[in-house]
Structure 1
Amino acid sequence: MRVLCVGENILYGRPSEALSKAAVAGSLSLATSELSGVVETLRRSHYDIVVVQQSASDVRIVRQIRKGKISAPIVVVRRDGTATGEVELLTAGADDCVAETADHTVLLARLRAVIRRAGGHDSATLHIGRLTVGIERREVHIDAAVVPLTRKEYDLFVLLAMRKTQVLSKEVLLDSLYSGEDEPFGKVIDVMICKIRKKIRAFGIDEPFTTQWGIGYRLNESAFNPVTVTLPQEDYRIRPAVRENCLPVLAGINILGIVAPANRP
């Protein structure tokens, strides 16, 4: 998870204690930005979420980000704030507001929840057809079987699953996977995609990813659709319905070889 921390002054331009602890507990990649250059920073690099740190409610930075056509989710961490201020921040485009005194585990959970909802997922377990991704347990299942992914392969797969409708460039994937580390050679994403494909094909899924040449990769949702059984063609024939004879049976009339006895006085 790549987090851009934005503050209103030197003190609040640094990650708060709760955010710093959340970074350690949740393996977050933290970067900071000044207010004046935040929109350009977000346009130049990919971040999963923006954390705006404030001493009190102020909608200006949120509006600035949204006017810049930046769709990244925003969480505001406030030292002091009122209910009215929170309403104004959410109305301006913030996705959540958290008190500065909140425990780092709560902050981390809120950050994950906002990112998950931004990707169209409503729970910590992602369900995409036959595919199940357990975010907390860091496991990928197809049907009931675990897909044996390495740590980096899992991180790459989750990035694509969380943004299942988006094409992610190799630059974005590299930034997300290796931010703060020495980036490996440029083909590492292609190599990991190839290895993941091979592992998933063992489950009968031929093409788990869609490749946009010159752009990047996207999860192929339709590949994980439940397997359907195709009936033989002859089973689709329309069999004629059995017709019932509704004619009344009268005395002396032979119907189907049965003679009804005449009514006797």
Structure 2
Amino acid sequence: MFEIGKEYKRKTEIHGPYGGQAQGGISTPKNFPVVFVFTSDAGEQHGYKDEYREDGIFWYTGEGQVGDMKMASGNKAILEHSKNKKTIHVFEYTKKAFVRYIGTAECLGYHEETRPDREGNDRNVFVFHLDINSVDTANQVSEPSASYGSKNVKGLKNKSLKELRRAALTSSPIGASSKAKRETAYYRSQALKLYVVARSKGLCEGCGSGAPFQTNSGPFLECHHVHRLADGGPDHPENVVALCPNCHRRAHFAKDAVIFNNELKKIAVEAEKNAL
């Protein structure tokens, strides 16, 4: 339906063939079993802060610009997507009118927070917990496998490179509880960080220099997601590189950040080919 990492012009390439609301963060086409979710940094000033959390779950702010949010329309569509047999598709704005496809997602629940609305008044908002699947099974060398065993994060430190990669691609068994899916997301996220640093062999994948220093757990390198998604990025080995602090800041703040990130995308893909 959509290709992971590919940019689409929202109005013509998404709503043209599928319909749905062409404005706002949540779109619910009538004639297709889908829910389209769009995330962007632009809404943060109005309380729409979307981000990956340490546990690997993506927090997505619901719709409603003024006053308390209501569990209706797009918000209800996200919460009840599984019951209604609809698939959530997540997109991230890259520039005006264009979005990048991140992958499908499952809503594991939500919580409520007090945040400012468009007019600066405090209001109640819904924050949905999305487990995003950014694996393009049509183009990946290996597909994610369901994990039925123990998800002991401490045990990851003793795994081989191949075992860490397998853990980074772990998915929850069909029918697993929300609790089990959250545990899997956290396990997968931690495995990915360890895997990328191990894959780098202690060398920055941006400039090729050695890690600036060693820690008790190995070389100090930082994980950078080449596809931004609120600075978290899709959790997949082909989307993440290990960088020294200097290159990591360059990827976020330098004048040539866009060019540098495009180079890092190629490096990540090539690193994966050599690691397998």
TM range (shorter): under 0.3
Which structure's relative contact order is higher, taking Cα pairs within 8 Å and 6+ residues apart?
2
Which of structures 1 and 2 has the bigger CA Rg?
A: 1
TM-score by length of 2: 0.25
TM-score by length of 1: 0.26
Higher strand share: 2
